[in-house]
Amino acid sequence: MIESKKLEEGIILYTISNENISFSVMNYGCTITNLFVRNKNGKKTDILLGYDRLSEWKNGNCSHNAIVGRFANRISGAKFTLDGKEYSLDKNDGGNCLHGGNSRYEKMIWNGELFSDSEGEGVKFSRKSPDGEQGMPGNLDITVTYTLTKNDGLVLEYNAESDGATPINLTNHAYFNLDGSGTILNHHLQLDCPEFLRANGELLPTGDILPVGGTSFDFTREKRVGQDIEKLVTEKADDANAELIEKDSPFGYDHCFVTKADESKLIRFGEIWSEESGIHMEMFTNQRGVHVYSGNFLAGIVGKGGLVHKRHDGICFETERFPDAVNQPSFPSCILHPGERYWHKTIFKFKVEN
């Protein structure tokens, strides 16, 4: 079933539903406002953090469940050089650029249209990101499609073409909590990711790609998200949490894990599930990286129902190209050239077990 509702002039909320799952998404930032999945007791549970009112979505600064680009994650020094020309970006994360800087895709109004096909029903969003927007070169035509499949999957697909060479790295910054509220530290997580990108104190990749074995980053065998999270403060394989030693410091996972994908086809990269709700979410992508963020900076944010969040109340799986790839020559290229097509597809597939 497909429905649409006008929230205010120019902003439309679309709702797609079947017997087991429903999601709502608005053309403001291609933002998924709710994702309801039946738990083991048959009750539909909203497994995404967020807000109740449009004004709160507009004022939020954590990219809740929205599209992120033109280049998701961090670009060191808020600059890069392409074809001999240096480009300067917004410094909105210390001296670095994060999630597109100060003019973010998540705060823009997109064109939206409903559709139905053999795979399922959904919404297709589009816009042109003009040359110079966010300091980036090239006019970029983008489409973002969210589909609810007939076998209870949520498909996120991104396509883009540019008339000039440009870095590109799109993703969705969904904050999941399979219980609907509370901590995600008790969620069970397994990742088919044998390596991760070592990060420094600014959460930038150092360029080192390290095996997860013997570190707190090893989720190749299922374990609870919080099992080793406090060990990250003294993790010798990584420096991202080294100075976060205070009780309320925002320590945790904020790292890119390396999948087995090469952008040519979909692969499974992991699964997360909750004993409390019985909800399982299996995850697939064609992207080389998945940035796992354990909601380290959520403390104090007021969310749905007036709930004041704590650190680690949500977890993100930002399928992506490698962070700072434009400044890391050893990483796979993130440059889209004229005549090429950027294609990124991610699927979250749901089931419930008692």
Helix residue ranges per DSSP H, the chain: 54-59
Beta-sheet pairing, 166-167 with 195-199: unpaired
- Kindly name the residue from 195, 318, 320, 344 that is annotated as catalytic: 318
Q: Which residues pair with 242 in a beta bridge?
A: none
Residue with token string 């991104």: 158
- Kindly name the residue from 64, 173, 255, 291 that is annotated as catalytic: 173
Q: Report the distance separating Cα 104 and Cα 197, nearest Å.
A: 25
Residue-wise burial string across 270-294, b where 16 or more C-beta atoms lie within 10 A, e elsewhere: bbbbbeebbbbbbbbbbbbbbbbbb
Q: Is 312 in the active site?
A: no
Task: Give burial (CB, 10 Å; 0-12/13-18/19+) of 20.
Answer: middle
Spell out the SS3 assignment of 151-186: CCEEEEEEEEEECCCEECECEECCCECCCCCCCCCC
CA atoms within 13 A on the CB side of 248: 4
Q: Report the distance separating Cα 292 and Cα 187, nearest Å.
A: 14
Q: Residue 223 in 3-state DSSP?
A: strand
Residue from 146, 144, 164 nearest 154 by CA = 146
252 touches 241 (CB < 8 A): yes
Residue from 59, 60, 56, 54 nearest 24 by CA = 54
Q: Is 173 in the active site?
A: yes
Residues marked as catalytic: 173, 318
